[in-house]
Structure 1
Amino acid sequence: MRNPTKYESDTESDVTTALEAPEGADTSWPGQLPGTDPLPGRLDRWLASRGAELVAIRRHIHAHPEASHSEFETAALIARELTVAGLSPRLLPRGNGVICDIGEGPRTIAFRADIDSLPLHDLKEVPYRSTVDGQAHACGHDVHTTILLGLGMALAQLNDQGLLPGRVRLIFQPAEEAMPSGAPEVIAAGALKDVDAIYALHCYPQLPAGLVGVRSGPFTAAADAVEINLTGPGGHTARPHLTADLVYALGRVIVEVPALLSRRVDPRSGLSLVWGAVHAGQAFNAIPGAGVLRGTIRVLSREAWREAPELITRLIREVVAPTGAEADVNYTRGVPPVINDRMASAVIASAAGAALGPDRVVEAELSMGGEDFSFYLEHVPGAMIRLGTGRPGADVRHDLHRGDFDVDESCIAYGVRVMAHTALAALATGAF
Structure 2
Amino acid sequence: MPSASFAAADLVRCVTDELDARVRELAALRRDLHAHPELAWQEGRTTDEIASRLEAADLSVKRLDTSGLVAEVGPDDGPIVALRADLDALPVPDTTSDPWRSSVPDIAHACGHDVHAAALTGAGTALAAVHARTALPVRVRMLFQPAEEVMPGGAKALIAAGALEGVERIYALHCDPTVDVGQVGLRVGPLTGASDAISITLAGRGGHTSRPHLTEDLTYALGVLVTQLPSALSRRLDPRAGASLVWGAVHAGDALNVIPARGRLGGTLRMLDASAWHEAENLVRRLVRDLAAPYGVTADVEYVRGVPPVVNDKLATGELGEAVTATLGASALVPTSQSLGGEDFAWYVEHVPGAMGRLGTRTPGGPTYDLHQGDLRIDERATVVAAKVLAVAALSMPIT
TM-score using structure 2 length: 0.91
Cα offset, 1:316, TM superposition = 0.7
Cα offset, 1:156, TM superposition = 1.3
After TM superposition, the runs of 4+ consecutive aligned structure 1 residues lying more than 6 A away are none
Aligned to 1:366: 338
Give me the whole-angstrom Cα distance separating, in 2, the residues matched to 1:200 and 1:276.
28
Give me the whole-angstrom Cα distance separating, in 2, the residues matched to 1:327 and 1:192.
40
Q: Is the 8 A contact 2:7 2:392 kept in 1?
A: no
Give me the whole-angstrom Cα distance separating, in 1, the residues matched to 2:36 and 2:253.
42
Counterpart secondary structure, 2:395: helix
Cα offset, 1:59, TM superposition = 1.6
The percent identity for this pair of structures is 50
Counterpart secondary structure, 2:304: strand
Cα offset, 1:55, TM superposition = 1.2
Q: Does 1:381 align with 2:356?
A: no
Aligned to 1:223: 195
Alignment of 1:232-243 (within 5 A): 232-235=204-207, 240-243=212-215
Counterpart secondary structure, 1:220: coil
Aligned to 1:305: 277
1:78-126 C-alpha deviation (Å, 9 max, x unpaired): 12111221211111123x2110111134421100001122223323333
Alignment of 1:95-110 (within 5 A): 96-104=67-75, 105-110=77-82
Total equivalences in the alignment: 396
Q: Is the 8 A contact 2:5 2:399 kept in 1?
A: no
Aligned to 2:372: 401
Out of 177, 201, 224, the position equivalent to 2:173 is 201
Larger deviation: 163-172 or 225-234? 225-234
Gaps of 5+ in 1: 1-28
In 2 relative to 1, CA 120–160 (structure 1 residues): closer, same or farther, beyond 3 Å? Answer: same
Alignment of 1:348-363 (within 5 A): 348-363=320-335
Give me the whole-angstrom Cα distance separating, in 2, the residues matched to 1:280 and 1:135.
26
Structure 1 residue identity aligned to 2:74: G
Cα offset, 1:232, TM superposition = 2.4
1:152-193 C-alpha deviation (Å, 9 max, x unpaired): 112112222334212111000111122332221122221111
1:374-424 C-alpha deviation (Å, 9 max, x unpaired): 121222121111111111221x23332222322111112211221122111
Alignment of 1:143-182 (within 5 A): 143-182=115-154
Aligned to 1:342: 314
Gaps of 5+ in 2: none
Give me the whole-angstrom Cα distance separating, in 2, the residues matched to 1:237 and 1:115.
47
Higher relative contact order (CA 8 A, sep 6+): 2
Counterpart secondary structure, 1:38: helix
In 2 relative to 1, CA 31–313 (structure 1 residues): closer, same or farther, beyond 3 Å? Answer: same
CA RMSD of aligned residues (A): 2.3
Structure 1 residue identity aligned to 2:274: R
TM-score using structure 1 length: 0.85
Structure 2 residue identity aligned to 1:246: L
Aligned to 1:417: 388
Give me the whole-angstrom Cα distance separating, in 2, the residues matched to 1:74 and 1:253.
40
Cα offset, 1:298, TM superposition = 0.7
Out of 278, 285, 302, the position equivalent to 1:330 is 302
Q: Does 1:85 align with 2:57?
A: yes
1:26-64 C-alpha deviation (Å, 9 max, x unpaired): xxx96245xxx6234323421332222111221222222
